[in-house]
Chain A
């Protein structure tokens, strides 16, 4: 019951973000969207994902959007809404296709689903004896899949450098 209510709120937020012409309001609705998503992840037991969603989605990205918006002229802070038939048809078609394909998915938490049969039993069995880490998410992210996390960290750093070049570059070297 609770996840259904949260999913409905999530959909309401998403539609609100699309329909609002006031961009500041849309940003706050987007933050609410992330908040409800975080609650959903918590309900389904994905505490680490929920934490990240709350901190990054509802927190940091909201402030980024707001700061970016305040750089624009007040005129640019509202938008004209235009309904595009082609885009609506495409996205509804994609939604229908996803719902149609989703029927074949294993049930939530099913023991026989491929995700639970490949490498995860080995991780669950060995994490405690190999690295004394009860939080399996940390064990997998930092050690078993350490290479992925290393590259992710490098990607975040590269994104930071790119943002610096874009934001400071337009100002010219003499501005600071």
Chain B
């Protein structure tokens, strides 16, 4: 029963998380909340898929994805320095559009970075904890 409900729920959690991520400009939520939802949804899916922890994401490998997220944030912020602006002023992004829209897309970019970092950390901790249980029993 729990397995069936979780199986039905997981894709909708992912869909909701993507909505939260990409509509952070106009509605509540953003990268952080979307990251938690994505991480939890992924682990929920894996937890119910098999009884063993074999399908769980490797905690160390998941954290590498998190490092990519943090790096994406720093990279997008660093563009401003080379185009004569302040660090983290996304108007420095080399995009052919108005200043305000460059900031708009910069915000979306760093939200994706935050989302990756949070998702990776949540999935990493989840799978560390869940893996331990299956090995000890």
Contact = CB atoms under 8 A, between A and B. Distances in A.
Interface string A125-153: 00001111111011101110011011001
Contact of B26 (A63, A134, A150, A157): A134
B30 interface: yes
Nearest to A133: B25
B124 A164 contact: yes
Contact of B73 (A48, A137, A150, A163): A150
Interface in B20-46: 20, 24-30, 32-33, 36-37, 39-40
Interface in B98-133: 99-101, 103-104, 106-107, 110-111, 113-114, 117-118, 120-122, 124-126, 128-130, 132-133
Give chain B's interface residue range (CB within 8 Å of chain A): 35 or more
A153 B69 contact: yes
Interface residues of A, number: 45
Contacts of B100: 129-132
Please report whether the interface of chain B is mostly helix, strand, loop or mixed according to DSSP.
Answer: helix
A167 interface: yes
B117 A138 contact: no
B124 A132 contact: no
Given A51-B29, A135-B27, A143-B103, A71 B74 contact: no
A51 B129 contact: no
B70 interface: yes
Contacts of A175: 135
A51 B33 contact: yes
Contacts of A68: 129
Contacts of B40: 55, 59-60, 63
Interface in A39-71: 47-48, 50-52, 55-56, 59-60, 63-64, 67-68, 70-71
User: Which 5 A-B residue pairings sit nearest by Cβ, starting from the closest?
Assistant: A160-B121, A131-B103, A47-B28, A67-B129, A167-B128
Interface of A: 47-48, 50-52, 55-56, 59-60, 63-64, 67-68, 70-71, 129-135, 137-139, 141-143, 146-147, 149-150, 153-154, 156-157, 159-161, 163-164, 167-168, 171, 175
